[in-house]
Amino acid sequence: MRRVALGFVVLPVLGILALAGGCVYDDMSSEMVVTEQVSVTLDEYRESGTLGSTVVVAEFADDVYKMLEKYDSKIKDIKSINVVSGTYRVARPSPAAHDWVIDSPVTIRRQDDPMGPVTDGPATFVNMTSQSLRDAQGAPVYADLNSAGVALIKRALDDLLLGMDPRLILKMEGGTITPEPTPSDPLSFSWRATVTFQVVIAKSPTGKGK
């Protein structure tokens, strides 16, 4: 499992415009919206049974501080931060002659201390229902995000703005695999999830953070 780099797009609140590789400011606006994408990858290998891999998303604070530095802003300049959307796609599926179909919820929980208790969740984040691995290759699949999982992330983000350092865990929570894997026909694939956030940052008349 691994952490994937972030991507940023900046949108002014008034007269919304986007410019790839940079930003466009509207001097009439007192704030800007930074759209941030965070991606994580779960690697699965099964010769029997059900899915159950996990991945830790622990770098929220570092990501936000890097973003703020990029736009010459501080944590106090953030007015709000929210989940906008989510996608997923499959990479490196088993080289089998047949397809695989997955039925599995992906849950999210919060455990700031790796040795401590889970303090929020688990909550369902995405339900993969009759998901063909072949169909999920290539172009990302837009996910129908579960409100309970989104609310958990929102609580973690709000705590981040209060100075905490939330640590979130994604997990494929069992489910079924069709056909069932065997030692001679194992299932392996990487599931890459991308969550898009919008961060509203107060900015000065010069176009930078206050």
Classify residue 68: in a domain, yes or no. yes
- Residue 58's CB is within 10 A of a number of other CB atoms, namely 16
Classify residue 207: in a domain, yes or no. no
Classify residue 77: in a domain, yes or no. yes
Report yes or no: 124 and 106 within 8 Å, Cβ to Cβ: yes
Q: CA angle 45-107-188, nearest 5°?
A: 10
Classify residue 210: in a domain, yes or no. no
Identify the pLDDT of residue 58.
58
Confidence label for 6 from pLDDT (cuts 50, 70 and 90):
very low
The residue written with tokens 């899915």 in the block is 51
Tally of structural domains, the chain: 1
Q: CA angle 123-135-139, nearest 5°?
A: 85
pLDDT in tens, 68-112: 888 788 888 888 888 888 898 888 777 777 888 988 888 889 988
Confidence label for 14 from pLDDT (cuts 50, 70 and 90):
very low
Of 18-22, 81-85, 115-119, 148-152, least confident by mean pLDDT is 18-22
Classify residue 165: in a domain, yes or no. yes
Identify the pLDDT of residue 3.
33
Q: Give the DSSP per-residue string, 141-163.
A: EEP---HHHHHHHHHHHHHHHTT
pLDDT in tens, 149-196: 999 989 988 888 888 888 888 888 877 888 988 999 988 888 888 888
In this structure, the strands spanning 101-110 and 120-132 are antiparallel
Name the residue range of residue 158's domain: 2-202
Classify residue 209: in a domain, yes or no. no
Identify the pLDDT of residue 210.
52
Classify residue 100: in a domain, yes or no. yes
The model scores a pTM over 0.85? no
Classify residue 195: in a domain, yes or no. yes
Q: For residue 75, give the 3-state DSSP assignment.
A: helix
Q: Alpha helices of the chain — where are they, by DSSP H?
A: 60-70, 147-161
Cα dihedral 43, 56, 60, 121 sign: positive
